[in-house]
Chain A
Amino acid sequence: MATAAETARAAEARDRRDRWLLSAPALIIIFVAAIGPLFVMLAYSFMEKADYGDVKFGVFSLEGWVSVLFQRDIFDDTLGLADAHLSILWRSISLSLYTTVLTLLFGFPTAYFIATRPATTREVWVFLVTIPFWTNLLIRTFAMQQVIRNEGLINTALISLGIIERPWQIMNTDLAILLGMTYVYLPLMVLPLYASIEKLDFRLIEAGYDLYASRWQVLRRIVIPLVKPGIVAGSILVFIPSLGAYVIPRVLGGGKSMMLGNLIELQFGAGRNWPLGAAISITLMALVMVALLFYVRNVSRSGASHG
């Protein structure tokens, strides 16, 4: 006869087994079509490239990783820094940082504005931010192109006002990518900011004014420290996809202004250097991980200071 404890343990074991079986389809699909391939790619980054794309399977080589940052001189085989790669890496990081700053500069007042509307209209404003958020990224990029291209809205307006005579070339520059990314990722900044400003206790602000703080002091010393989790979350939500951007630089940068995503594609396309492409992909993932770690550390620290 089984004791009550044994029966309970058996029930628990059965529950566990059922829970693993239930989650198996999701775990298997994600392993096969998302996580597993990343490990294969890691292996590919250490193989020798074949002449027409792909790799020489099982032939070990560090060449892919070396050429992320260095290039071999064609004549004497010495290593020099790969300036093209470094400038693309730098462009990716700096444009992503600028995008984060710009979305914050526009997103913070917007989120604050929404959070201080009466409850009845607040939902409408949030909805207005949500619609672009769920609209196809390619379409929004294309929409941005309508504004900044040579015959687009900005240039037509500036020319008809007589401010400039010839179109201002924005397309295919870093500025175009910056504008595109700011436009596309803005909702990702506004939504988490709104969520944390909405929870703001306005009595604290009142207390600040009672103590003769100016508007600016209240903003800087009370509001911003209190909504810091939202600022950090929004910044990370904007920074990470910016770093891995592919469609926006491809459409608005026109192949002249490349970011890491485009450099990766190039290696799997015309560049025919899969190990290098794999190595750059893993570098990009590592950068994303660094940003995420920064986020986790910041969240745990700000959580501790409130506790």
Chain B
Amino acid sequence: MARRQRAYDIRRQPGFGLIALFTFFALYLPIAALVAYSFNAADSLSRWDGLSLRWFISAWNNQAVQDASIRSLLLATWAATLATIAATMAALATTRTPNYPGLTFKYAFINQPLMVPEIVTGVALLIVFSRIKVWTGYTGMGYLILAHTAFCIPFAYLPIRARLESMDLTLERAAADLYATPWRAFWRVTLPLLRPAIIAGFMLAFVISLDDVVITEFVKSGGQDTLPTYMLGQLRRETSPEINAIATVFLALSVVLVTVFYFVNRRRP
């Protein structure tokens, strides 16, 4: 009878709160377990021997992990930079204009990487790049940078396009009235207004590149492991808590990036 006395809440659905709380619990339990095991002092994941940082130290001193981390960061920096530049230009070309022939085509083209399963793009790139590698003899990081840039473009494009659509041309026209050249108006008016969206786009692209495992796995040449492909390779074997330590650091990095992204995006007027 206690329920009757409460005001009849029209929003309430019985059991929904419980399911929701269970869902949040289930979302974070595996992550908590992963982090907890990374502080395990034992030699294997089957025992718990108390807290220790030994696996973080061992991961830090692992040459393969160091190389893969540096490669991942470099690749993400290159890909996100190139993707952000290309996406900013494309966004400027596809917004603040009446519909023109080819506009829909451009939208479809730019968003295409989101539509195709990664594994399909991965093997298609394997087919093409493996032939180019034989023809040219070049097996460097260029292939990975190119592939990552391509699938990062739609992610960088998204926030920049959204921001441009909420800006009208008034300020640029005012600049032109004051005899600014188009180039100067772009640098002094458009770009500063776009900056938060460009930063957001860059960070999205950076995270997407950093996280990629499938396409990288098929495009990389020998000795070009990134952190995710290194981890995937290790998971095939008997896993040691060292992988947990790497995953924990990676996780912390992602959380920091997402949090920063969140606040950069929210500050938008």
Contacts and interface: CB of A to CB of B under 8 A. Distances in A.
A109 B16 contact: yes
A248 B139 CA distance: 29
A106 B30 contact: no
A294 interface: no
Contacts of A112: 13, 16, 20
23 contacts: A25-B89, A26-B90, A29-B146, A30-B150, A33-B125, A35-B109, A109-B17, A113-B21, A134-B257, A138-B211, A138-B231, A140-B31, A142-B235, A147-B30, A151-B45, A152-B33, A205-B11, A215-B12, A240-B117, A265-B123, A281-B120, A285-B116, A288-B115
Interface stretch (B50-58, B60-68, B194-202, B246-254): B246-254
Interface in A282-307: 282, 284-285, 288, 292
Interface string A27-44: 101111111111011001
Contacts of B14: 215
Interface stretch (A66-74, A77-85, A123-131): A123-131
A185 to B, nearest CB: 12
A196 to B, nearest CB: 15
Nearest to B34: A143
Given A116-B11, A281-B123, A139 B89 contact: no
B117 A284 contact: yes
B124 interface: yes
A97 to B, nearest CB: 16
A27 B27 contact: no
A274 B150 contact: no
A277 B26 CA distance: 36
Interface stretch (A2-10, A14-22, A158-166, A227-235): A14-22
Given A130-B262, A215-B13, A244-B120, 10 more contacts: A26-B110, A30-B110, A30-B150, A32-B146, A32-B150, A33-B150, A186-B27, A246-B117, A277-B123, A285-B120
A54 B130 contact: yes
A38 B33 CA distance: 40
A183 B30 contact: yes
A61 to B, nearest CB: 16
Contact of A19 (B8, B97, B110, B120): B97
B30 A146 contact: yes
B245 interface: no
Interface string B1-30: 000000010111111110111111011111
B130 A113 contact: no
Contacts of A129: 27
Contacts of A16: 100
Contact residues on A (Cβ < 8 Å of other chain), bracket: 35 or more
A142 B247 contact: yes
Contacts of A37: 121, 124-125, 127-128
B42 to A, nearest CB: 11
A38 B126 CA distance: 11
B205 interface: no
Nearest to B24: A128
A27 B154 CA distance: 11
Nearest to B26: A183
Given A38-B124, A130-B258, A139-B250, A30 B113 contact: yes
Given A243-B117, A244-B117, A132 B128 contact: no
Highest count of chain B CB atoms <10 Å: which of A22, A23, A54, A250:
A23
B119 interface: yes
Given A27-B109, A247-B232, A135 B123 contact: no
A121 interface: no
Contacts, number: 245
B123 A292 contact: no
A251 interface: yes
Contacts of B250: 136, 139
A129 B258 CA distance: 12
Interface string B211-228: 101100010000000001
A112 B12 CA distance: 9
A34 B150 contact: yes
A188 interface: no
A173 interface: no
Given A19-B94, A278-B123, A25 B30 contact: no
A146 B37 contact: yes
B120 A38 contact: yes
B59 interface: no
Nearest to A36: B128
Interface string A94-110: 00000000000011011
A151 B46 contact: yes
A183 B20 CA distance: 14
Nearest to A252: B235
Interface in B148-203: 149-151, 153, 157
Given A106-B23, A244-B119, A138 B113 contact: no
Contact of B23 (A110, A130, A151, A152): A110
Interface in A140-159: 140, 142-147, 149, 151-153
A113 B20 contact: yes
A225 interface: no
Contact of B110 (A27, A136, A243): A27
